[in-house]
Chain A
Amino acid sequence: MPDHHSYQDPFYGWTTPKTISLCVQKLKECNSLPFQAIQKLISMSEAQILNEQASSSSSSSLEILMKFSKNHSISIENLLVIFNGFVHVLRLALKPPAAFLKSDIFKDDLRDLKFSEQIIEGFHNILFGTKRDQLYNIIQERDRPRLPFLQSFDWNLDVTLTTASLSRCIEPLLFFQFHTTDNRCLTFEVPIKKFNELRYNTALLLKEMEEVDGKQALKLLET
């Protein structure tokens, strides 16, 4: 079986990123750090990406690192370098589409980086474990620039019966209230004609969106 190096680049790119090489170097230097602590660092790096609180006692990652630094008498800078390296490995692994990351090849690449077997196991469990979909989802949806989008959309359909200028009117009156993610609350009236245009255009957009999958040029992006 041909070595995967001949047909696939390692997940971390063409050259070892400095962050990771520093991390490995520090790991070698700080061999007083027990594996349990390393395990904790690995799970913290996962939490870092997921942006959750590291533990129920809600101590931030920095506090945990300071605790390790004191307990195992390793400088905080070294711990930060190691932690940073772990997070970087995860980010790089999550970058290509999910199907590209094969289990064995991933482990092989990590061996090339000179991580210990236990650490490799730890990374592998994170990337192919229970939170796999969540991780990929977050990387794609959260970590990109986004225009404001609608948080909530309320509407009022009233009927105008009489006005100051007309004693018998009977006109429908449509009000929208948009709450957008940039904390704006927009209340505005929608003339019925514009509402019909809006509805038509939205339907058209949805149809175009469905057709995106079939477009020739985009077939190159099949993952």
Chain B
Amino acid sequence: MSVHALRKSASSSFVFVGIGLPIEASAPAYQSHGTEGSHLTNITNTKKAFPVLAVNYEHVRKPFEIALWILLALLMKLGFHLIPRLSAVVPESCLLIVVGLLVGGLIKVIGEEPPVLDSQLFFLCLLPPIILDAGYFLPIRPFTENVGTILVFAVIGTLWNAFFMGGLLYALCQIESVGLSGVDLLACLLFGSIVSAVDPVAVLAVFEEIHINELVHILVFGESLLNDAVTVVLYNLFEEFSKVGTVTVLDVFLGVVCFFVVSLGGVLVGAIYGFLAAFTSRFTSHTRVIEPLFVFLYSYMAYLSSEMFHLSGIMALIACGVVMRPYVEANISHKSYTTIKYFLKMWSSVSETLIFIFLGVSTVAGPHAWNWTFVITTVILCLVSRVLGVIGLTFIINKFRIVKLTKKDQFIVAYGGLRGAIAFSLGYLLSNSHQMRNLFLTAIITVIFFTVFVQGMTIRPLVELLAVKKKKESKPSINEEIHTEFLDHLLTGVEGVCGHYGHYHWKEKLNRFNKTYVKRWLIAGENFKEPELIAFYRKMELKQAIMMVESGQLPSVLPSTISMQNIQPRAIPRVSKKREEEIRRILRANLQNNKQKMRSRSYSRHTLFDADEEDNVSEVRLRKTKMEMERRMSHYLTVPANRESPRPGVRRVRFESDNQVFSADSFPTVHFEQPSPPSTPDAVSLEEEVPKRPSLRADIEGPRGNASDNHQGELDYQRLARCLSDPGPNKDKEDDDPFMSC
């Protein structure tokens, strides 16, 4: 927003708010001097009374106004969701534009000039958070599976749109009756290139709410992200040339080269910053608090660096997010991950809201030049060229795709090509030397309004009407994960048998390269060896544990009473009650020992300790393990009745609290039922301190080298150990790889 315009409006409209501001401290001490100082006042008769309350609005003007606008935007957003029916029918973007129109109108009525969406503010502050949010959380699998299709739509589709529209508009302008014969071809092509690009902000805003199936979503969304390179090149190209006036073949050739430079350069810049961020995150284990900042700053730097070189900033940002994500997530703590997620969502939400509101305000503000024919034709041509482009390209693409795009998919892709604020900002950036600037701006705004309002509002009922496949809301399932990985290997293998190098072959090669060379450098500690399946599994378990803690009880994710005992192979007959009790006592005692050995927590500003959830997680793990052990114990132990009772002192199960590995027994406790063993050991005090990361886990491993003397005792000990650490106490058990803590 331009500060100058705001200054005038602020001084008149908002002065009443400024009264609350800097209250200078009252000084009662001075008042006593008032009477006796009367002769002083004669000497310095310009001295005023000491200001108790003063207003200094200028001091805080800029931040105040910015904060106020943001607050307004957020209050509006809040308001929409309080009105029950509204948000179901009208997409939020429309409502925000309407609010912007109202605010703009209000400001105009007061007599001030409403602020216009400043392009620099837009491109440098408002757009990056949205794109980073999109890029960081881009679903990689569908994206890479369809990247060819997305690129075809983005590059060829946008080129087609730009030239088709530009050409036809030029033809239109040649018609005398329109009255626009002064417009030359290059200007029209410039206009075509501005208005042809699908806008990621608008697409996100609308598609977020309709929950369409993954394929179509990633096609439209990916296209809106990747067409930035084309838009940048075309825009710069035509802008340069419309000043000069002529285009040669060399220029066109250079334009094509420029396109590759812009797009690949942007991706390269982003990837470099992404690797830097990943590498930095490898060392942040001692300063967890600032981890999220690295992610944000490196990404922003990638964006700014590529904008500096006139490369595609959006592609840089996407590349940075995509590249850094797997490595950063392997390195950072769970809390940092949550922070990153929420900050990105928050910033992108605020940005989006502000963008739409300003779009509305700018509409009221901006200089307009209306020409019915031109504007209406632009809108119609936008639709027509989009539909033709999608149909034509799909026809070609379907010859190469394994999974073809159906007509419904094509329709949604065509209909979902919304234009938004990027087009407006690019139009606004046009220098005033273009005599058609106002006309172009008006046309752009009309197209944006049309696509956002008409297409945005009707897409949801159309999706319902056409019964387009919706997104499947499925929880992460370990079975699906196993089979996804299984399928990958299977298909790679079958491709190998068939003998040609297809999609899966290259993916496999990339994975192998990633594993052997890249991960080694970018992931902290020994975690790089960990396969994805295990990481997925542990994340799931962590989520379960946290859910358990939050809900305050043992969870039933799937309400069922099925537990491990239902699926384990039929066990040996139950142990005698007395024996069970003794073993339980041993276990309880040893768990208590373990708790006492854990280190105490200390406060530190620079480290985020495992407060709260992580404490509870480990506590919950211990609880789970205990219960699981008991259950197993009762199923697995074969202890003949005539055995001696074990002497508790002999079989001390030793605990080592740091850096030890959970025995595999504790893993399969994902689903749990309410415990119903006869005696619930609750003697363990759960107020004990928890050890510092990464040693979240207590070691409840089998005893090492602690064999007892007598033979019977040894057998007993083995059985006890067996129930603690399946498959038994091997002294040379491999425990090198510490599990990733988060």
Are A and B interaction partners? no
Q: Which residues of B contact A (CB under 8 A)?
A: none
